[in-house]
Amino acid sequence: MLEEKRWSICEACAHLRITSNPDHDGKSVYTMYISYCRAFPDGIPEDIYPGGFDHRFPYPGDHGVRFQLGEGGEKRLSVYERRVPEDERTRDVTEGAREHVRRHEKLLQRRRAVVRRLISAARLEIPVHADGRPAVLTVEDAQWLAVTTTGRPIAAWRIPEYCARWESATLNELAALPQRELFFYVDGQGPLVPLRNLLEAISK
């Protein structure tokens, strides 16, 4: 049975970013992608996306960054307001916010484990173009760079237009990459690790 579409104000927001989720459970369309934004760079709370809470109102942990109408988003905002009842849009999200914090901490623990693997690896390799530039892949709104700690290249990056070969790299070289929304895809599995998480670990 197909999952019923759930409407979110995020779909009309200028801040929304989406990328594929290598951790998806294969059951729900809502786990196939990672939804994140300026307010929630590690993942939007389920209360909001896809849960329908109106983020024109404060949500714990949003640091004052709230909904901003995106270009061409007027129709999507109108549909959201028609399809999601007001009492659902303005409901109490206190417990949902607590659950989001718990899920967020579990995600951070998993990311830290991957970062430790990167730091302790005897050898790191990344895919590069023919001219030696890292073969960064655009996946929806984000940039991914594959990294292997095992010496076994990740099959998806063997596609010629993305990867001419694999080369060794250092942590400093990874840390110096310029992409703001860059995620590392390590050893062909999740979780994705944002570049900023690596920078934070190296700076300690």
Q: What is the pLDDT of residues 46-103, one digit of tens each?
A: 999 999 999 999 999 999 999 999 999 999 999 999 999 999 999 999 999 999 999 9
Q: What is the pLDDT of residues 27-44, one digit of tens each?
A: 788 889 999 999 999 999
What residues contact 183, with CB distance under 8 A and at least 6 apart? 19, 142, 143, 144, 145, 192, 193, 194, 195
Q: What is the pLDDT of residues 133-184, one digit of tens each?
A: 999 999 999 999 999 999 888 887 877 778 899 999 999 999 999 877 899 9
Q: What is the pLDDT of residues 48-58, one digit of tens each?
A: 999 999 999 99
Tell me what pLDDT residue 153 has: 87
Tell me what pLDDT residue 43 has: 95
Tell me what pLDDT residue 150 has: 92
- Residue 1: pLDDT over 60: no
Biggest alpha carbon distance in the chain? 56
Give the E-state strand segments of the chain in sequence order.
17-20, 33-36, 124-128, 137-139, 142-147, 165-169, 182-186, 193-194
How far apart are the C-alpha atoms of 138 and 7, rounded to whole Å? Answer: 26
Tell me what pLDDT residue 171 has: 94
Question: What backbone torsions phi and psi does residue 23 show, to the nearest 5 degrees?
Answer: -95, 5
Tell me what pLDDT residue 104 has: 96
How far apart are the C-alpha atoms of 53 and 186, rounded to whole Å? Answer: 34
What residues contact 202, with CB distance under 8 A and at least 6 apart? 119, 171, 175
**Which CATH code of 3.40.1350, 4.10.640, 2.30.30, 2.40.50 fits the domain covering 105-203?**
3.40.1350
The residue type at 23? D
Tell me what pLDDT residue 96 has: 97
H helices of the chain, in order, are: 74-83, 86-89, 94-120, 171-175, 195-203
Domains in the chain: boundaries: 9-91, 105-203
How far apart are the C-alpha atoms of 99 and 125, rounded to whole Å? Answer: 37
Crossing angle of the two packed helices 94-120 and 195-203, in degrees rounded to 10 = 70
Strand order in the sheet with 137-139: 137-139, 142-147, 182-186, 193-194
- Note whether 169 and 128 are within 8 A (CB): no
- Note whether 167 and 128 are within 8 A (CB): yes
- Note whether 38 and 65 are within 8 A (CB): yes
Tell me what pLDDT residue 2 has: 53
